[in-house]
Amino acid sequence: MLAKRIIPCLDVDNGRVVKGVNFVQLKDAGDPVELAKFYYQEGADELVFLDITASSDNRKTMIEVVKKVAQELFIPFTVGGGIRSVQDIKGILLAGADKVAVNTAAIKTPQLISEGARMFGNQCIVVAIDAKKNRRKWEVYINGGRTPTGIGVLDWAQQVAKLGAGEILLTSMDRDGTKKGFDINLTKVISESVAIPVIASGGAGTKEDFMAVLKEGKADAALAASLFHFGEFSISEVKEYLIDNKIEVRK
Amino acid sequence: MITIIDYGLGNLGSVKNALDKLGINSLISKSTTDIEKADGLIFPGVGAAGEGMKNITREKLDKIIKQEVSKGKPILGICLGMQLFMSRSEEGNVNCLNIVEGLVQKFMTQLKVPQIGWNTVQIEKDAKLFVDIPQNSYFYFVHSYYCLPTNKVAIGKTTYETQFCSALQKDNIYGVQFHPEKSGSSGLQLLKNFTKIVYENNTSN
């Protein structure tokens, strides 16, 4: 049976991993390659690198990071953040990433999804959707969650699936950083209305949260950042808990 | 030396990175000489069968691959590469290399397609490609189509609603539907095993 995936996410600023990563085992906690290998040994099924570099001059640094990671990491990894064109997608994939995540640019130019999928295959186009609940409706936000679009999350999810996205990375902005658990309702609604895998993100705080989103939320994968970085519990602990609760994960 | 055949599709760098990591000498190329002088071949690929076959025939790689395979040179097809070994693919309705008899079909399932992620492989006993890899190990899959060989060539089987052939061997032809270069330590072991087969083959000749 296909296993549910646990995916740590790393923020990279100008070639260095940021956000208080602090493991005693690591010589250099800011080195993306060292952290990637650490998470791989911990049992991560994939990795996501989010490039948060503000200046576009420094974006070339990310390509170098991707090349180095690809030489040392033998599980799939996705790169997101600031990808605006087919050229950007090509650059990241040629450097050795398996997938790219597009967000703001996909809303502005939906053809980026179809064009990217046509040129490089659906499997490497991940559409990241930042969702926030306004009254009764989930709305898509862009520009790192700063700008509302007026577009409904369900409509957008179905549209990106039709355009050829291979996966959806769905982040609940309401839950992100709260540790109150994933938004089960949101994840379930989206996962059940598209035929492509959904990666749930935002709000993980306990091992039970992972079980809830993978089981009731029908997510295909669950992503977390700070939880793993601060070592509150490890990926292998989450996986042991899931196995004990009869959820199929890779051992 | 192992030649990774370049036909303009797919993640060739990843396979090369994995072999480099294992200290295995390899080269990415589409030249006849590099394919002829190689001890073994890897035939990777991500993408569509139609596009793949178009590139292969344009570069006249079909003839040279068939020629080398008929000499007994070990070849490992990965993902689309394995599918292109078959007689015909439903994807774009194209004739493939036909060095392993059978068809390539699309998943007919209520489950999500493509199948993306880690799934287990039920390994056939004594399969050389899986030496030192535990039964039901997880490998990384990304595909919408799968091989349906006519003969009993499956050495690995995987279930995605229905059971399908996820690894095959017909004499010196090996194929895997998953990506060993993205399957962590089990995948690296498989590439190591293939390399061993390549060099054993070389000494016995």
Q: Is 90 exceeded by the pLDDT of residue B10?
A: no
pLDDT number for residue B205: 45
pLDDT number for residue A14: 87
- Kindly state the average pLDDT of the residues A74-89: 94
pLDDT, one tens digit per residue, over B53-98 is 999 999 999 999 999 999 999 999 999 999 999 999 999 899 999 9
Q: Is 80 exceeded by the pLDDT of residue B13?
A: yes
DSSP B24-60: --EEEE--HHHHHH-SEEEE---S-HHHHHHHHHHTT
Q: Judge whether B121 lies within some domain.
A: yes
Q: Judge whether B205 lies within some domain.
A: no
Kindly indicate the confidence band of residue A53, based on its pLDDT and cuts at 50, 70 and 90. Answer: confident
- Token code pair at residue B34: 């590099």
Nearest CA in chain A to B139: A250
Q: Judge whether B143 lies within some domain.
A: yes
Cβ separation B14–A96 shorter than 8 A: yes
Rounded mean pLDDT of chain A?
Answer: 92
- Kindly state the average pLDDT of the residues A82-107: 93
Task: Compute the distance between CA of residue A173 and CA of residue A130 in angstroms, rounded to an integer.
Answer: 6
Q: For a pLDDT cut of 90, what percent of chain A falls above it?
A: 76
ipTM given for this complex: 0.91
Q: Is 80 exceeded by the pLDDT of residue A3?
A: yes
Q: Judge whether A200 lies within some domain.
A: yes
Tell which B residues from 87 to 106 touch A, by Cβ distance under 8 Å. Answer: none
Q: Judge whether A249 lies within some domain.
A: no
* CB-based contact A148:A141 (threshold 8 Å): yes
pLDDT number for residue A251: 87
Q: Is 60 exceeded by the pLDDT of residue A137?
A: yes
Nearest CA in chain A to B183: A75
Q: Is the dihedral of CA B167, A44, A81, B113 positive or negative?
A: positive
Kindly indicate the confidence band of residue A49, based on its pLDDT and cuts at 50, 70 and 90. Answer: very high
Catalytic residues of B: 79, 179, 181
Q: Judge whether A21 lies within some domain.
A: yes
One of A13, A31, A130, A183 is an active-site residue; which one? A130
Least confident stretch, A67-71, A197-201, A229-233: A229-233
pLDDT, one tens digit per residue, over B110-131 is 898 889 999 999 999 999 999 9
Nearest CA in chain B to A192: B112
Q: Judge whether A185 lies within some domain.
A: yes
HEC assignment per residue over B110-166? CCCCCEEEEEEEEECCCCHHHCCCCCCEEEEEEECEEEEECCCCEEEEEEECEEEEE
Task: Compute the distance between CA of residue A135 and CA of residue A130 in angstroms, rounded to an integer.
Answer: 16
Looking up residue A128, the CATH number of its domain turns out to be 3.20.20.70
Domains of chain A: total: 1
Backbone region of residue A166 per phi and psi (left: phi > 0; alpha: psi in -120 to 50; beta: other values): alpha
Cβ separation B119–A1 shorter than 8 A: yes
Domain residues for the domain of B65 are 2-199
Q: Judge whether A68 lies within some domain.
A: yes
Cβ separation A75–B119 shorter than 8 A: no
Q: Is 70 exceeded by the pLDDT of residue B151?
A: yes
Rounded mean pLDDT of chain B?
Answer: 94
pLDDT number for residue A27: 63
Cβ neighbours for B89, distance < 8 A, ≥ 6 positions apart: B49, B50, B83, B96, B103, B104, B145
Backbone region of residue B59 per phi and psi (left: phi > 0; alpha: psi in -120 to 50; beta: other values): alpha
pLDDT, one tens digit per residue, over A55-70 is 666 678 899 999 999 9
The larger pLDDT score, comparing residue A120 to residue B197, is at B197
Candidate from B48, B116, B159 with C-beta closest to A1: B159
- Kindly state the average pLDDT of the residues B18-25: 97
Q: Judge whether B52 lies within some domain.
A: yes
Q: Is 60 exceeded by the pLDDT of residue A23?
A: no
Domain residues for the domain of A130 are 5-244
Domains of chain B: total: 1
Looking up residue B124, the CATH number of its domain turns out to be 3.40.50.880
Q: Judge whether A251 lies within some domain.
A: no
B47 and chain A: CB distance < 8 Å anywhere? yes
